[in-house]
Amino acid sequence: MDSLVGVPFAVKANIFVTGMPATAGTPALREAIPTKTASVVTRLTDAGAQVAESAGMHELALGTTSSNAAFGIIRNPVDPSRVAGGSSGGSAALVASGTYAFTLGTDTGGSMRIPAAYCGVVGFRPTTGRYPDDGMYLISPTRDAAGVFARNVSDVAVVDTAITGERELTSIAPGALRLGVPRGGFFDFLDDEVRSAMDNTLDALTRAGVTLVECDLVTPSGQSVHELAPSAGFSVVGYETVRHLTDRFALLAPPHNGLSFDDVAEHIASPDVRAVVDHMRTQPVTEDEYQGALAIRADIQRAYAECFETKRIDAIIYPTVGFVAPCIGVDAVTLGGVDMPLFPASIRNTDPGSLAGQPSISIPVPRPHGGLPVGLGIEGAVGADRLVLSVALTLEKALASVEDNRI
């Protein structure tokens, strides 16, 4: 894809397009019409692309499966008995099925990369704030970012250029790359398929000449980002969702512009989302808890910055998700003999970087014939988005050169 002229694309149902319902996958917004199109969309249409449809999602973007009780389950095109991932599952599935060359989604804690990994496509989350965030339902202004799904990294880069105007994409030889491998935390809980795929991928990258550097992401307090991200991340989302989501309802045409958060909450259809929102409403995050979460976020940001600086690495790599796409209806996984609820297990590796605002991308890795997709997460320093895309392009080419698309 060299140009966007005439290229159709879909947008996640929480991104505004005038004349098209912005449902956020929830009943109260089923017929909600925005009064203005999101800037991230208009930049693409100005480049010649054409909005074709709204893509399904996990209700209110508060989940990782896109099993939506109001609008239906989004199935994985690779295996329809499995989930497409979430919350941007519809956008990923439309690319995986070949319907569109690219789509837009959003990401709070992994909602671009998780569906990309499950569906075997490329999913890119830019540095938080790099893409405009007007014209979309924000559950967390601190964390949310629009992102791009495509079949390959080059197509993501074309879309990224149309949105940002940045054109430089450096050609990097594998032998010039230094990539951090944070085994502590990021490689701890993997199913057999993902572990095998990661072992083979790292071996293949080493053979291609990539320098792999062992590293740890540890905050100044000595705690790993995995220890700190879950509670801090939920506190940020819980505090901001209740306070800011209503601001975006005001951008809708009447009568939906008068909706409150409670109005929408009362009509939630998906049991898992209702449980999350009920928790937000009955056990609200206090101002002190929110400020404490932001302080933890700052510590996590320092951990990333120090890792990139001291190890002199271009990016870190890790399994995007520790397991392949689960079957529809599954709500827990067992990894390394430990039973885990599906949601925290799904976002385990994507959440810390999302909270810190790092640019990141998931690319599919070679799998045996008939094997389910596995994603390789590539995460860079804040603001180094085009470098992340360049690294991803190099790794994509290196892995594609493996004979028969198998390692």
Pick the catalytic residue from 39, 87, 88, 235: 87
Task: Name the catalytic one among 39, 67, 88, 111.
Answer: 111
Q: Return d(Cα 2, Cα 4) in angstroms, integer.
A: 7
- Catalytic residue of the set 12, 67, 346, 362: 12
The answer to whether residue 360 is catalytic is: no
Active site residue 66: no
- For β-strands 211-214 and 102-107, DSSP reports them as unpaired
Structure tokens, 314: 């271009």
Contact 164, 358 (CB under 8 A): no
* DSSP conformational letter for 136: B
Long-range contacts of 350-353 (CB under 8 A, 24+ apart): 350/109, 350/110, 350/113, 350/114, 350/320, 350/321, 350/377, 351/109, 351/110, 351/229, 351/230, 351/233, 352/217, 352/225, 352/226, 352/228, 352/229, 352/300, 353/304, 353/379
Query: How many Cβ atoms sit within 10 Å of the Cβ of residue 291?
Result: 11
In angstroms, the Cα distances linking 248 to 13, 78, 79, 138, 295 are 14, 35, 36, 7, 26
111 as an active site residue: the answer is yes
Do the Cβ atoms of 220 and 307 come closer than 8 Å? no
Q: Which residues are catalytic?
A: 12, 87, 111
